[in-house]
Structure 1
């Protein structure tokens, strides 16, 4: 692979994730374009028969809930393999999981419609899951347990805070990450690698140079990036 291919990750990677890119002779700059903040859960909050999680952030907040052992006795439905793993590592039994919220809503509607649900969400969550549950007349309530905060910053390939971006590729992991990045940066010829379809949809307003991961994971975003530049160079 040619040298001096410059990649921006719009969040700080784990050391082994970054190493994959470095091993492929890619130059990597990391910057966090969003932050998350846990919100308190009221002790008297209504918790229904089954639980829904669509992110690891929601799981991490709920793990601090004072009645956490009571929650572990409930059926859990979630989006994402890593969300599932985090739940199971902490004693939850995951009844079903999918890669996308739309698919989870469909499974619940078709197979588990008789249960009532509590959806633990963030402030910038998409409307798809709750809307589909409402359409299917599924009984549920929603508790907002974390806040996503945009942290836009002007980027260059050296990570400095001025000038124009000169990256060859940008890694995006959420629609909010796209929103934050594009507040202070334009996308020109960079190839954008996305964790999933919803992130890609957010990017379509800014570029046509979009590659979507085969699986909605950070690792697969990295693999797509490495594969693309290996073929190209």
Structure 2
């Protein structure tokens, strides 16, 4: 039976997708999130950019009134909607959102809530195209380093930080399954055996694992 390592603890229904396909699972959290205490002068913001669910979670306790959300990722926009925010735009990639803002919302001002580790692509595009925006760091990503002695038939990665955390103590000797191209770019520093999900969701990563390793 094939066995994979997930660098993120999965929900029960996600685990079942693997186990019901006859694939063994070992899981741990390669990274952890620490929310940062922050303060804002204005607690009413017209246009907010979220590129992760963690940023949404970080502002919920601050009684910040948000008029419009611009989101990256299905899970991010889903959480924003669940919490009652008005999602005006959502894209799978930060670059796509930035280009949409530049094209259609260039007269508006934005507030970008982010983590301490994030790609520069979106802020640089906004800055280079004279889009007014403010950025506040609201959470930190910490690496949970762990050494594994076992061999796996595949490793699941969901962020560049997850790759960085795992490879700090381990080598990539097997096929890796990545949630998106940004994560894959980090994995390429260590291996060429990379399979990228068709859509940037955990379920799509698992679907790639099942189609590749089922009956192995």
Q: Is the pair's TM-score, using the shorter chain for normalization, greater than 0.5?
A: yes
**Contact 1:117–1:141, Cα closer than 8 Å, also in 2:** yes
**Distance in structure 1 (CA, Å) of the matches to 2:134 and 2:41:** 14
Instruction: Determine which of 52, 55, 59 is the counterpart of 2:56.
Output: 59
The answer (yes or no) to whether the contact 1:35–1:151 under 8 Å persists in 2 is: yes
Match runs of 1:160-179 below 5 Å: 166-179=151-164
Which residue of the other structure, out of 41, 46, 58, is the alignment partner of 1:44? 41
Q: What SS is found at the alignment partner of 1:49?
A: strand
Q: How much has 1:136 moved relative to structure 2?
A: 1.1
Question: Cα distance, 1:47 vs. partner?
Answer: 6.2
Which blocks of at least 5 consecutive residues in structure 2 are unaligned? none
Q: SS at the partner of 1:59?
A: helix
> Pick from 148, 151, 172: which aligns with 1:187?
172
Residue 26 of structure 2 is aligned with which of 22, 29, 32? 29
How far apart are 1:46 and its partner, in Å? 7.4
> Secondary structure of 1:133's match?
helix
> Are positions 1:6 and 2:7 aligned together?
no
Equivalent residue in structure 2 for 1:134, among 106, 120, 127:
127
Which aligned segments of 4 or more residues in structure 1 are displaced greater than 3 angstroms?
45-48
TM-fit CA distance, 1:156: 3.3
Distance 1:154 1:208 in 2: 22
The count of residues paired between Structure 1 and Structure 2 equals 216
Distance 2:30 2:123 in 1: 26
CA 229–85 in structure 1, closer or farther in 2 if over 3 Å, else same: same
Contact 1:98–1:104 (8 Å) recurs in 2: yes
Q: After TM superposition, give the deviation of residue 45 of structure 1 in Å.
A: 5.4
1:209 aligns with 2:193: yes
User: What TM-score does the superposition give when structure 2 sets the normalisation length?
Assistant: 0.96
Query: Which residue number in structure 2 is paired with residue 156 of structure 1?
Result: 149
Q: 1:97-127 deviations in whole A, cap 9, x for unaligned?
A: 0001111111111111111000000000111
